[in-house]
Amino acid sequence: MNKAKVFKLAKGFRGRAKNCIRIARERVEKALQYSYRDRRNKKRDMRSLWIQRINAGTRIHSVNYGNFMHGLMKENIQLNRKVLSEISMHEPHSFKALVDISRNAFPGNKNVVHAPRKVAMPLSV
Amino acid sequence: MANRRCLQALTRQATSLSSSVRHLNTPPLLSAPFPLKPLLDARQVSPSLEPNRCALWPPRARPFCSNRTSDDEDEDEDEDEDEDGEGGEVMEESDCETGKSSSRSKWEYTAEEREAEAAAIGYTLLGPLERSDRVFNPYEPVFAVVQIGSHQFKVSNGDCIFTERLKFCDINDKTQTIVGRPTVPDAAVHAVVEEHALDAKVIIFKKKRRKNYRRTKGHRQELTKLRITDIQGIEKPEKTDNEKPVKSAVKKSEKVAVAA
């Protein structure tokens, strides 16, 4: 690509990488390589984020993520993690319904241990 | 990702289900108050699906569409579907119909195959939007989860979603997503195809250092923008009632919101 395109892609870079073509070309190539790699990584990261959110949502109802998903699979509910995380954020009643379905389908959630809650200690010592 | 959508609309040749409309002359349409986008240079061939239409496309005039300004109407994304419906649909169907019948040997889809493919992806084509359809309802606090292709979306009335380009859909067609097992039976989400657009360009760049290997490629994904108009299969809340959330078994979670 010619210099104008390189400079257009180099906007916001630090130092001489946005002004001088020799440095800018290297940095732009590296940036494009990173974006190629990260388009694949973004899918992984988003899925991980959804799982964290679902986990947080189910632990409110004392079910952990693994048991929750196992119960859903048993019931043949094919909602994916993206939609489940959206429901857990925005539609709490529907999410509680889903958690109840999962709990009925797969009992065995007696061992969910909540993190020890921080209790305010009095300042006496 | 939706904020990167480049809304340069692309008029798309597509097979259409009703061929009777193309013989109508478009009535003189009210001039839109919006700036008319220059669509005459955007009439490119949709690259992936119909490769052998290239040869016939450029010199083909549109013998059945009398009003040239009509094709700009349907690309506007507002709720003014009255003008959009007539103009868009007549323009789309008269595009390549005459040429289509003569030289389309390989890519003809019979009506059954079309419907089978569309159903496999997850939607049914209901037909073009008529002028008299009032599909844009006000917002109702009901949501549904819809699967198109391999993507699932949580939609509600009035939402816009971007999906992969739907085959056999024209702009201003109504599509209905039929959910089967393991999903709620007899529930449907109605949507209107708002536009076919290309995504923003991504540059695919590969390089192996010190090996003199460098490749650059650009890519724009073809998308369809759907606007959800109606969700059926659940009782909508009355404005004054106070109802508990309804639990439904599989795949389609629906919520009847507590009326504020």
**Would you list the DSSP string of B22-82?**
GGSPPPPPPPPSSPPP--GGG-PPPTTT-GGGTTTTTT---TT---GGGGGGGG--SS-HH
Inter-chain residue contact A36 with B250, CB threshold 8 Å:
no
pLDDT in tens, A77-105: 788 888 889 888 988 888 888 888 888 88
pLDDT in tens, B155-206: 877 778 888 777 666 555 555 544 333 556 666 777 788 888 888 999 999 9
Q: What angle do CA B42, B49, B107 make, to 5 degrees?
A: 125
Q: Are A28 and A9 in contact (CB under 8 A)?
A: yes
Nearest neighbour of A1 by CB, restricted to B153, B207, B216 = B216
What ipTM, to 2 d.p.? 0.76
B254 pLDDT above the threshold of 70: no
B182 touches chain A (CB under 8 A): yes
pLDDT of B145: 79
Nearest CA-CA distance, residue B48 and chain A, Å:
22
H or E stretch covering B212: none
Q: Are B122 and B210 in contact (CB under 8 A)?
A: no
Least confident span in A18-27, A42-51, A92-101, B126-135:
B126-135
CA nearest to B227, candidates B79, B75, B34, B87: B79
pTM of the prediction?
0.57
pLDDT of B165: 74
Please report the sign of the dihedral spanned by the C-alpha atoms of residue A75, residue A78, residue B252, residue A40. positive
pLDDT of B127: 65
Nearest neighbour of B245 by CB, restricted to A1, A77, A93 = A93
Nearest CA-CA distance, residue A96 and chain B, Å:
9
Q: What angle do CA B213, B216, B221 make, to 5 degrees?
A: 145
A39 pLDDT above the threshold of 90: yes
d(CA B104, CA B248): 46
- How many other CB atoms sit within 10 Å of the CB of residue A118? 6
CA nearest to B168, candidates B225, B223, B124, B220: B124
